């Protein structure tokens, strides 16, 4: 049980680093796609077209975020394990699902998470500067990276790795939830997240949080 808790904590730290990197990329006006998946699950589902380097250090090590920011903006996708091992960068994903109105990056994020149900894809849109999170083929959460503060990012990381809606709610001092079927818009001090129906339980939980 202790080992399992340690692994969950590490996965949460990894997700927090990835979201921080995604925010930095977004602020720079660039785009990217980061896939978090087990090495064995993603094997055979991507191709690389750039020389690859490996590192024994997980992405949570000091200074690795700077490296990740550079690698994540290379054309293609970056793949990282839940424990923070860099698997590949500049990778072409071999699974895609067309999403009407969106481009190839969205199709790749949808396709890879549909093929690997346990995977999460973090897409940074260079057009809108929004960060979109995919699981099981769907966009499950969107956020304006320029408005969401690091504390909220940290709680989102915990929400994604633990599935703990209370953990996410605890980050918010003032919350208003507007239901716009099939999604909820969660306003947090002027910023907002869009939570898709995959996590519809969050809207009912947040509605019960005291926003005074």
pLDDT tens column, 16-51: 999 999 999 999 999 999 999 999 999 999 999 888
pLDDT at position 142: 83
Q: State both tokens at 2.
A: 């202790």
List b or e across 137-172, with b for residues whose CB sees 16 or more CB atoms inside 10 angstroms.
Answer: bbbbbbbebeebeeebbbbbbbbbbbeebebbbebb
pLDDT at position 129: 81
What residue spans define the domains of the chain?
A: 2-163
pLDDT at position 17: 93
Direct distance between the N- and C-terminal alpha carbons of the chain, in angstroms, rounded to an integer: 38
pLDDT at position 6: 55
The CA distance from 89 to 92, in Å, is 9
- Asked if 28 contacts 22 with a C-beta cutoff of 8 angstroms, the reply is no
- Asked if 198 contacts 140 with a C-beta cutoff of 8 angstroms, the reply is yes
Sign of the Cα torsion 17, 59, 117, 33 reads positive
The CA distance from 4 to 90, in Å, is 31
Domain 2-163 in CATH 3.40.1700.10? The answer is yes
pLDDT at position 10: 87
- Asked if 177 contacts 203 with a C-beta cutoff of 8 angstroms, the reply is yes
C-alpha radius of gyration, the chain, whole number? 17
The CA distance from 49 to 51, in Å, is 7
The CA distance from 155 to 70, in Å, is 25
pLDDT at position 173: 36
DSSP 209: S
- What does the pLDDT profile of the chain (212 residues) look like in tens digits? 555 555 668 898 999 999 999 999 999 999 999 999 999 999 999 999 888 877 778 999 998 999 999 999 999 999 999 999 999 999 999 999 999 889 999 999 999 999 999 999 999 998 888 899 999 998 888 888 776 666 667 767 776 776 554 444 444 433 334 444 444 445 444 445 555 543 444 433 333 433 33
């Amino acid at each position: 049980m202790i080992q399992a808790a340690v692994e969950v904590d590490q996965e949460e730290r990894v997700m927090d680093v990835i979201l921080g990197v995604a925010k930095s990329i977004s602020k720079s006006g660039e785009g990217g796609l980061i896939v978090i998946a087990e090495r064995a699950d993603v094997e055979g589902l991507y191709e690389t077209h750039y020389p690859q380097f490996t590192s024994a250090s997980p992405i949570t090590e000091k200074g690795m975020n700077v490296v990740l920011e550079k690698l994540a903006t290379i054309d293609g996708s970056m793949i990282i394990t839940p424990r923070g091992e860099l698997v590949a960068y500049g990778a072409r994903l071999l699974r895609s699902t067309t999403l009407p109105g969106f481009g190839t990056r969205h199709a790749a994020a949808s396709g890879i998470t549909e093929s690997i149900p346990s995977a999460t894809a973090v897409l940074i849109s260079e057009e809108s500067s929004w960060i979109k999170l995919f699981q099981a083929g769907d966009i499950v959460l969107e956020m304006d990276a320029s408005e969401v503060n690091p504390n909220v990012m940290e709680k989102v990381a915990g929400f994604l790795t633990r599935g703990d809606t209370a953990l996410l709610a605890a980050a918010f001092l003032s919350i208003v939830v507007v239901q716009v079927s099939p999604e909820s818009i969660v306003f947090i001090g002027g910023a907002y997240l869009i939570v898709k129906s995959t996590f519809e339980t969050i809207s009912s939980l947040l509605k019960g949080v005291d926003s005074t």
